[in-house]
Structure 1
């Protein structure tokens, strides 16, 4: 779709709405944990953590297959289906009568988000000329940052009334976006292709769930118990089986050809580590403010908000800079700043509430790092790919993101336990810092990346590893 007409503007708005509500919904549940605890008084912190983890696991398992499906069946169709499912699941989450129903429905909501994520960037890139792809990536990540920023104060405000409203807020936006998108979004070329590996999807989701359950329940069950050992083995065997199956299946849940692209492989490693740190940060900050400093949920949400706001402000210029200067340099700077925020909180925070001097600097520094590294992660995962594989590449990166998030939440749920003290929070912030630094080192290892494929190079799928190897 060319030009700057109202239909193009509406298309961009619809796509970014999907990005916005999926970003809001990942973090808004963190702020609602204290309110959820009141509705489900027998639930432990590890039990509540599954409200995030169930979403992340199904999101992760379905991202790459949905990216392949978007490439082959049309990004518009897949995006609208995902948006509709996400909106419907939000309504059911809002009405959930028990924690078990809420967790199960969050898993369904993750399916909808997984269908949206890779197709959203593919659709957005199609609305911009090739020379402005960096702006499109920056805009995509910036809106995600705005969603993260809005999630905290909005979630705090809604949770003060009832945690169910954090899901109700998705309904008007989702319904409007589906109706407008059906009219405005451009139709994309479709290809016949093999059916996605449904068995591989199920095994991957079950394997990640087993690993997360091992981490979250290890202390309760005993690290040497039969349950923990059995789940650990099941998770490891399932992951190995998934990798082996991907070598021969025509539409695997993991795509070996993409992992032969050096930037894509290292970009996914960096993404997994970084969002492990984000998961640690997301849980630790709100619980510290509400349990150690005894601030209200709304006040804690407002105190966290400056970090995501800084991320949103830095995302677009960093996206342009990452394309021009290199993801390895921009990514290392962003990761270092994010880690510095975690280190600041580790040593500056204590039992005496002092938001301007002790909490705010870490939030600003970490938020800047968040905004700087996000476009670098997205660029590392897509810029070396031919245009017809962007949705698939985005799906793989988002899968790494969700797996990292689930693992980070699981680790911190164990570190904090149900009655965390100051030392356990400091350990959680060090998890955030360490994961951030590992992410930056993985991006730096990429080195300079050549210009995006699609400018005269062979971009066929059969030659993918040769078309973009750095």
Structure 2
């Protein structure tokens, strides 16, 4: 994160969003440690399941690869679609309680994933996981900005970002280790971590009240979610049904109409779901244009490598995780500034 971006973030911290006094309130460093647990859980689950997918397929033998891919797609789509919506919604409420609610939802959903008896139930549980992660992420950064003085916020956000990036990079390796015992451990491991984070967060996090802002549009959230979901569905099913099939064409049509309507909403609404003014900021626009194809290619690479190494080469999940780990670790930025105080 650049200094310009950090200064921009400082401007969005409302005066009434400063932490209030509370018994046993955490120091800024402790707040950073607590909220970093949340971002670690959220980012780890973006890639940790990749290595475990072949083992999941062995248990649910009737499921096709396309069906299994929704275990990954459902999380990514719901997380991306709900991130802005929950971030806007949480502005109206206590940041610390909203963060803890996100941790609780993610933890409960992780337990449900571990207990899944079908692919369908696992996919639904992954959507609930993503909802918890989408609530944890913006509220955690809100807690950071309210807890640190202005001159230390850039360093705090860099540290938070670096920790989340490291967690995502370690996902394949962690998945390989846990799948050695059982694929359900991929989700079980989140439960004790989440429970501990809940207890410490409840006792230590400062109270950061919300402020009076317009509610985000639920209709816009539905449009962007359905548009991305329909587009992903069409791409996943194109291999089986063909690009000219009725189902794929219908999915592409729904995606086009939904995303076009979402763009129209953002351009014309007085309370846009995503403010078009953001795209006037050149670093933001440039990062968005670069990260979109990069993330798609990076995610596809991780999944294809995990599947190929285990199903074609016959490697174990642990060996696969160890082989994949250097790549994600090398693309993570080493720049991390730990704030003082």
Q: What residue number does 2:149 align with? A: 129
Q: Are positions 1:78 and 2:98 aligned together?
A: yes
Give structure 2 stretches of 5+ with no counterpart: 1-18
Q: Is the 8 A contact 1:84 1:174 kept in 2?
A: yes
Q: What residue number does 1:53 align with? A: 73
Q: Are positions 1:237 and 2:261 aligned together?
A: no
- Aligned mates of 2:230, 2:121 — CA distance in 1: 19
Q: Is the 8 A contact 1:223 1:229 kept in 2?
A: yes
**Aligned to 2:336, what secondary structure does the other structure show?**
helix
Cα offset for 1:219? 1.9
Q: What residue number does 2:267 align with? A: 247
**Aligned to 1:41, what secondary structure does the other structure show?**
coil
Q: What residue number does 2:247 align with? A: 227
Corresponding residue to 1:274 among 294, 301, 309: 294
- Aligned mates of 1:122, 1:272 — CA distance in 2: 24
- Aligned mates of 1:76, 1:267 — CA distance in 2: 29
Give structure 1 stretches of 5+ with no counterpart: 321-470
Q: What residue number does 1:432 align with? A: none
Cα offset for 1:139? 1.2
Cα offset for 1:180? 1.4
Larger relative contact order, structure 1 or 2 (CA cutoff 8 Å, min sep 6): 2
Cα offset for 1:149? 4.1
* Deviation string, structure 1 residues 15-68 (Cα, Å, up to 9, x no partner): 000011111111111011111011111222222111111011111111112222
Corresponding residue to 1:213 among 233, 247, 250: 233
Q: What residue number does 1:460 align with? A: none
- Aligned mates of 1:219, 1:309 — CA distance in 2: 32
**Aligned to 1:163, what secondary structure does the other structure show?**
coil
Q: Is the 8 A contact 1:61 1:253 kept in 2?
A: no
- Aligned mates of 1:307, 1:129 — CA distance in 2: 36
**Aligned to 1:42, what secondary structure does the other structure show?**
coil
Q: Is the 8 A contact 1:194 1:250 kept in 2?
A: no
Normalised by the length of structure 1, the TM-score is: 0.63
Q: What residue number does 2:87 align with? A: 67
RMSD: 2.4
* Deviation string, structure 1 residues 132-153 (Cα, Å, up to 9, x no partner): 3332232112212331344223
Cα offset for 1:87? 0.9
Alpha carbons of 1:67 and 1:312: their partners in 2 closer, same or farther (altered >3 Å)? same
- Aligned mates of 2:53, 2:27 — CA distance in 1: 40
* Deviation string, structure 1 residues 247-266 (Cα, Å, up to 9, x no partner): 34454432223233333233
Q: How many residues are aligned here?
A: 317
For 1:35-46, what aligned pairs fall within 5 Å after superposition? Answer: 35-46=55-66
Normalised by the length of structure 2, the TM-score is: 0.85
